[in-house]
């Protein structure tokens, strides 16, 4: 097992942070208010010329967020979407991907399949549009598209086509909290797709200077959701990166399945220098829930049918896309929103609007701060 300063290195998306000389151990931030962390991170990371623009976006985004928490129902999805959009634009400035987001467009358009298959939500899809070529400012005649900008900033990947289709029935199961409500909404047509990861560990072989990861899941969890070990590798899109290896350890008499990284990373003088690259290879294949008690993050693999893989998004982007759709419905066809809430997926949508905003906020705070940010559990 990889040890840093004589302790096993704990897995996170930011286990190390760069100091003035080299990488040091990352820290966890406990915050009663994620907005404070986001503002301080923007102040620290933004170049001076763009700092005021980023902070103004954050100020307005926070106002939208506070308004959404004030007890409103009919306007809540719209308020949340504009909050998320402002966070996305501020993040693009903060990570210095662009120097100007003044004229950025949504980059998404909601559509329905043609009649007779034109029911809201179940026959709805989003067209996502590619953003302008890379550079501080877009070339003349090219538009910045917020969705693709956020996808690039979070994952380094772009929308694959112009446009690229994302079906709402494919996006909905990509949400961790409330996932079982989605299963209930399918009325037996689908089963659970998230598999809880019990632990993730770093390993080291000092001779050849290799480091790699191991993921551990419970065998009975796979049986419960009807997924074979090979299905998990294929459906969670980690089959090209991990393989199952023999493992005999149990926890509370529950057998563990060990998935080991196929290609270790070679380091030079210090393994800590390559840990960020090791994590970068897997971070967008993992889902998380933000917890206020240990272990503070719970990780999951998302076992989607292979046919849906082109529409599987990083966690933050799937939350963003669904919120855009609901916000568009509320703005342009509010009577359809009531119909959605009264339909099979109504309980899931209500849970999404109640639970996901704070999850999104703390996940984005972590991206801004480049360290795990969790809600402080204090009296």
Residue 22 has pLDDT above 80, yes or no: no
At 25-77, the pLDDT tens digits run: 888 999 999 999 999 999 999 999 999 999 999 999 999 999 999 988 899 99
At 198-251, the pLDDT tens digits run: 999 999 999 999 999 999 999 999 999 999 999 999 999 999 999 999 999 999
Helix (H, G, I), strand (E, B) or coil at 213: strand
- C-alpha closest to that of 328 among 60, 108, 93: 108
- C-alpha closest to that of 144 among 79, 91, 92, 78: 92
- C-alpha closest to that of 127 among 161, 101, 79, 86: 161
* Average pLDDT along the chain: 94
Two structure tokens written together for 32: 């009663």
At 288-340, the pLDDT tens digits run: 999 989 899 999 999 999 999 999 999 999 999 999 999 999 999 999 999 99
Two structure tokens written together for 106: 């949504």
pLDDT of residue 25: 87
Q: Are 120 and 328 in contact (CB under 8 A)?
A: no
pTM of the model: 0.96
Residue 6 has pLDDT above 90, yes or no: no
């Amino acid at each position: 097992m990889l040890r840093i300063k004589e302790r096993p290195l704990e897995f996170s998306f930011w286990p190390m942070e760069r100091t003035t000389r080299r990488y040091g151990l990352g820290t966890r931030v406990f915050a009663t208010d994620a907005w404070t962390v986001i503002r301080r991170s923007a102040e620290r990371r933004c170049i001076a010329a763009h700092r005021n623009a980023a902070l103004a976006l954050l100020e307005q985004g926070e106002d939208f967020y506070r308004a959404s928490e004030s007890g409103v129902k009919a306007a809540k999805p719209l308020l949340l979407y504009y909050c998320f959009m402002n966070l996305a634009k501020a993040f693009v400035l903060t990570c210095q991907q662009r120097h100007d987001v003044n004229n950025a467009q949504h980059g998404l358009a909601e559509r329905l399949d043609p009649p007779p298959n034109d029911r809201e939500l179940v026959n709805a899809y989003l067209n996502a549009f590619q953003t302008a070529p890379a550079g501080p400012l877009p070339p003349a005649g090219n538009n910045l598209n917020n969705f693709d900008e956020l996808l690039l900033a979070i994952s380094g990947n772009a929308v694959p086509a112009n446009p690229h289709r994302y079906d709402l029935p494919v996006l909905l199961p990509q949400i961790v909290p409330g996932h079982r409500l989605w299963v209930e909404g399918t009325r037996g047509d689908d089963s659970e797709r998230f598999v809880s990861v019990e632990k993730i560990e770093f390993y080291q072989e000092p001779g050849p200077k290799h480091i790699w990861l191991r993921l551990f899941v419970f065998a009975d969890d796979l049986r419960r959701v009807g997924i074979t070990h090979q299905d998990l590798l294929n459906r969670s899109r980690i089959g090209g990166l991990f393989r199952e290896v023999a493992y005999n350890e149990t926890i509370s008499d529950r057998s563990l399945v060990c998935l080991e990284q196929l290609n270790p990373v070679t380091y030079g003088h210090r393994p800590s220098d390559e840990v960020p690259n090791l994590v970068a290879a897997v971070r967008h294949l993992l889902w998380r829930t933000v917890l206020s008690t240990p272990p503070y993050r719970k990780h999951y693999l998302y076992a989607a049918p292979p046919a849906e893989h082109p529409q599987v998004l990083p966690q933050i982007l799937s939350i963003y896309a669904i919120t855009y759709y609901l916000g568009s419905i509320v703005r342009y066809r509010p009577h359809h929103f009531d119909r959605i809430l009264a339909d099979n997926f109504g309980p899931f949508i209500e849970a999404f609007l109640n639970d996901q905003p704070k999850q999104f906020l703390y996940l984005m705070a972590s991206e801004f701060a480049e360290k795990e940010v969790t809600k402080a559990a204090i009296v």
